[in-house]
Structure 1
Amino acid sequence: MSRTRRPDRSQARIGAVFTSGYALLLIAFGVVPTLYTIFLAFTTDGAFAGISNFTRIFGDYRFLPAVAHVAVYLVVYLVTLLVFVVLLALLVHSIGRRWLANSLRFVYYIPGALAGASSVMLWLFLLDPSVSPVAAILNAFGFENFVQTVSVDNLPVIFTIVAFWTGAGGWIVIMYGALNNISADVMEAARIDGAGPVKAAWYIQIPLLRKWISYTAVMSLAAGTQLFVEPRVLSQASKGVVPPDYSLNQLAYLYAFRQGDFNGSAAISLLLLAVAAALSAIFVFRGGLFERD
């Protein structure tokens, strides 16, 4: 009996060593800041304040517009990301020539090498019709100058394009790997039964990708709710055309570092965390992310 248990204990020790670093960083930079945020959100000057901080931010005229901006962006971004990532992954996976499929995956992944701020700076150039290489396309949509392009009504689409261009490549690679894990026997049986590429994708591949689609949605939702760098850079570049309180993260920043109200900032952050966690839970359970195959 002892001989059979020793490998298990050894593997458990090795696993604990490899995960201990992450666990310590998670506690230091995840759990502790979250607990401190909860403390700030429900206190004022160190005294328990109930929900007064939350009622104050609800009464702020900037709060509901910021909520609407983030909500619209998330809907546009998540729908666009999930649809096009799955379609592009299926397209690459269907290519018979390996070198071409590998080249496309590499091309998709290149934009992900750029950091958020660098990506936005590149798009500042592309969105200015006076210098953009795609000025003809911008003019076709009626945009004759940079201010018209980055108007508030256009921002959800602009931020979606920037986020998709930066992050979609990594998700396509992940989805491609998931497609490779689908049994060849299953796909062969579908072809024998007369299923073409479209039917095979709709009835077999996409359902088997459900967990990965759910995982993509959860991670992209978490990133999307943290919208900050893109509107902040555009706000500075447009000289106020994009408001400095466009997103909830920007509003929390203003509360903390412009108004000195860290309690209000913590309340906004906690609400954002709660909503993101609730929406993520829906994707997790509806997508069967933790179900065993």
Structure 2
Amino acid sequence: MTAQAAQSPRRWGLRPGHVFVSGYVVLLALFGVLPVAYSIYLAFTRAGGGFAGFANFTRSAQDYRLLPAVGHVAAYIAIWLVSLTVLVVLLALLVHRVARRATKTVLRFCYYIPGALAGASSVLLWLFVLDPAVSPVAWLLRATGNDHLTEVIAPGHLPVVFAIIAFWTGAGGWILVLYGALNTIPEDVMEAARMDGAGPLRTAWSIQLPLIRKWVVYMLVLSVAAGTQLFVEPELVSQASFGIVPNSYSVNQLAYQFAFTQNDFNGSAAISIDLLIVALLFAGLFVARGRLFETD
């Protein structure tokens, strides 16, 4: 009886948690697990039915547009992740370092404003900014040898352009996340560092960065997942460039072309599964190297 009484509160204590996560689990199953399962089914079957093995993966991999698309997305993700890691961490440390509460509030608000303008609207805004004919920074664009919009959004420039757009829309939210993580560091740890003579740089490198490492890894995992899904930005830029930028610039665009231009949903599903595998591999690497799920 005593053992049952001791276990009873624990069993009942789990039920509110189940209720809280039930909505998320249902939505995850409907819009996450089931679409992935259906994509796997399409990727290994033929259009008319029947098991196809790896034929859809082989056919999509042999498409002449796939390798350039992979290179474009890889360059974009590399530039974005480096800029995101370095600049977001530095800006979060800067906000945390500011002494006055009012100044912190203003900075946090200013960092978060660009996040309110995301997706297609953000791309349209940047197309206006990048057009030397109407841009408020036209002098800077012309100084770099770009006199027309088509020159600014040339395919060779797009990884940097897309990285800037992604940083503009997404960095503010991550700055606030890392700022919150910095606030969880015990004050006595920071005070001990100051008493030992550690300056701001030494404190940031030896104390703050190791203690917020897991949050940085979490940021990288979600950023890689989002980066592999690059679609809206190149799709709009492709339309604005009147064909200079191909409509298969990114891997996600190529999957779209397979499905809705070539009516090859099986090949499109194979490309989607390839993207999922790549994202999972990078996520696993970051989680393992960053020890994301280890308890302190």
The TM tier, using the shorter chain, reads over 0.9
Q: CA deviation at 1:5?
A: 3.5
Q: How does 1:215-230 map to 2 (within 5 A)?
A: 215-230=218-233
1:290 to 287, 293, 296: 293
Answering whether residue 136 of structure 2 is matched by residue 133 of structure 1, we say yes
Quote the Cα distance in structure 1 between the aligned partners of 2:192 and 2:145: 51
What is aligned with 1:51?
A: 54
The percent of aligned pairs where both chains have the same amino acid is: 61
1:16 to 8, 18, 30: 18
Name the aligned partner's letter for residue 28 of structure 1.
Answer: L
SS of the equivalent of 1:119 reads helix
Quote the Cα distance in structure 2 between the aligned partners of 1:257 and 1:80: 34
Answering whether residue 274 of structure 2 is matched by residue 234 of structure 1, we say no
Q: Which moved more, 1:2-11 or 1:188-197?
A: 2-11
SS of the equivalent of 1:153 reads coil
Quote the Cα distance in structure 1 between the aligned partners of 2:60 and 2:12: 52
Q: How does 1:28-177 map to 2 (within 5 A)?
A: 28-44=30-46, 45-177=48-180
SS of the equivalent of 1:47 reads coil
What is aligned with 2:251?
A: 248
Q: CA deviation at 1:167?
A: 0.5
Q: Which moved more, 1:11-20 or 1:86-95?
A: 11-20
Quote the Cα distance in structure 2 between the aligned partners of 1:241 and 1:128: 15
Answering whether residue 181 of structure 2 is matched by residue 178 of structure 1, we say yes
Q: CA deviation at 1:115?
A: 2.7
Q: CA deviation at 1:7?
A: 3.3
Say how many residue pairs are matched: 293
SS of the equivalent of 2:176 reads helix
Q: How does 1:249-268 map to 2 (within 5 A)?
A: 249-268=252-271
Quote the Cα distance in structure 2 between the aligned partners of 1:283 and 1:234: 31
What stretches of structure 1 move > 3 A for 4+ residues in a row? Answer: 1-7
Q: CA deviation at 1:3?
A: 4.6
SS of the equivalent of 2:295 reads coil
Quote the Cα distance in structure 1 between the aligned partners of 2:8 and 2:111: 45
The alignment yields a C-alpha RMSD, in angstroms, of 1.0
Q: CA deviation at 1:189?
A: 1.1
SS of the equivalent of 2:262 reads coil
Quote the Cα distance in structure 2 between the aligned partners of 1:268 and 1:182: 43
TM normalised by structure 1 equals 0.98
SS of the equivalent of 1:61 reads coil
Stretches of structure 2 lacking an aligned partner (at least 5 in a row): none
Q: CA deviation at 1:127?
A: 0.5
Quote the Cα distance in structure 2 between the aligned partners of 1:264 and 1:173: 40
Quote the Cα distance in structure 1 between the aligned partners of 2:278 and 2:70: 11
Quote the Cα distance in structure 2 between the aligned partners of 1:212 and 1:273: 22
TM normalised by structure 2 equals 0.97
Stretches of structure 1 lacking an aligned partner (at least 5 in a row): none
Q: Which moved more, 1:75-84 or 1:8-17?
A: 8-17
Name the aligned partner's letter for residue 42 of structure 1.
Answer: F
